């Protein structure tokens, strides 16, 4: 039996036979112990949109409600797991694939996984949804206009991009493809307290469903 988050096995390399090991503890057993099923909340949006700020605030709010959470942030992962990758389209796709694999394994363990990545391409986000499982994946689009993100420019990246120092900056030299049908859409330009209140309401409903699933 394959792990729940894998729809199909990776192609095998010659001389390297692979097989999946069936774990005695199932995701259902782990969910029962934690009191809720595993799930992935995937935050997407431009750099400076507010993804990490909202994900961190939600992480704290869910923790206060007794949820077992973990936060995967784009900058954090780029300094570790994906430090060998650049910003070409192929490297961006591999970056998202790796994170989706990790998030899926964490969801298998019964964790509520908050992923905050620009993840600019629809095909990569849909690939993550398919890999993790549509029923365990919630896409959260932080919809913030480019002009607002540039005005914030906390990291100074847009200034460098406009100066030609970051030719592949998303939104400037490389496209961002907004979701067609995000599960949750948040306005990153709205007052923070309003946006966070909406996000907490939606996530509380999700947590209720995940707790119910753990008892089934």
Per-residue pLDDT at 97 exceeds 80: yes
Reported as a pLDDT band with limits 50, 70 and 90, residue 8 is very low
Residue-level length of the chain: 216
pLDDT at 7: 44
Per-residue pLDDT at 78 exceeds 90: no
Least confident stretch, 7-11, 162-166, 195-199: 7-11
Q: 27-145+176-213 has which CATH code?
A: 3.40.50.300
Per-residue pLDDT at 85 exceeds 50: yes
| Helical packing angle, 27-34 and 89-108, nearest 10° | 70
pTM of structure: 0.88
Identify the active-site residue in 47, 52, 88, 119: 119
Better-predicted residue by pLDDT, 12 or 124:
124
Q: Which residues contact residue 23 at a Cβ distance below 8 angstroms, ignoring those fewer than 6 apart?
A: 3
Reported as a pLDDT band with limits 50, 70 and 90, residue 3 is very low
Per-residue pLDDT at 185 exceeds 90: yes
Better-predicted residue by pLDDT, 25 or 149:
149
Query: Is 119 part of the annotated catalytic residue set?
Result: yes
Q: What is the mean pLDDT of residues 17-43?
A: 84
Least confident stretch, 16-25, 77-86, 131-140, 204-213: 16-25
Closest to 138 measured CA to CA, from 186, 83, 188 = 186
**Domain regions of the chain by residue span:** 27-145+176-213
């Amino acid at each position: 039996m394959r792990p729940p988050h894998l729809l199909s096995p990776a192609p095998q390399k010659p001389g390297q036979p692979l097989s999946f090991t069936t774990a005695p503890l199932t995701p259902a057993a782990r969910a029962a112990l934690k009191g809720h099923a595993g799930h992935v909340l995937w935050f997407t949006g431009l750099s400076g949109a507010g993804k990490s700020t909202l994900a961190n605030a939600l992480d704290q709010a869910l923790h206060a409600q007794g949820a077992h959470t973990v936060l995967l942030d784009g900058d954090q992962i780029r300094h570790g797991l994906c430090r060998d990758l650049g910003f070409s389209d192929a490297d961006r796709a591999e970056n998202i694939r790796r994170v989706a694999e990790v998030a899926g394994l964490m969801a298998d363990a019964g964790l509520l996984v908050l992923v905050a990545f620009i993840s600019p391409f629809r095909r990569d986000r849909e690939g993550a949804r398919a890999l993790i499982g549509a029923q365990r994946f919630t896409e959260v689009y932080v919809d913030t206009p480019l002009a607002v993100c540039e005005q914030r420019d906390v990291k100074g990246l847009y200034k460098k991009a406009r100066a030609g120092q970051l030719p592949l900056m998303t939104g400037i030299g490389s496209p961002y493809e907004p979701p067609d049908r995000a599960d949750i859409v948040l306005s990153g330009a709205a007052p923070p307290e309003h946006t966070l209140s909406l996000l907490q309401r939606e996530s509380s409903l999700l947590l209720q469903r995940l707790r119910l699933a753990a008892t089934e």
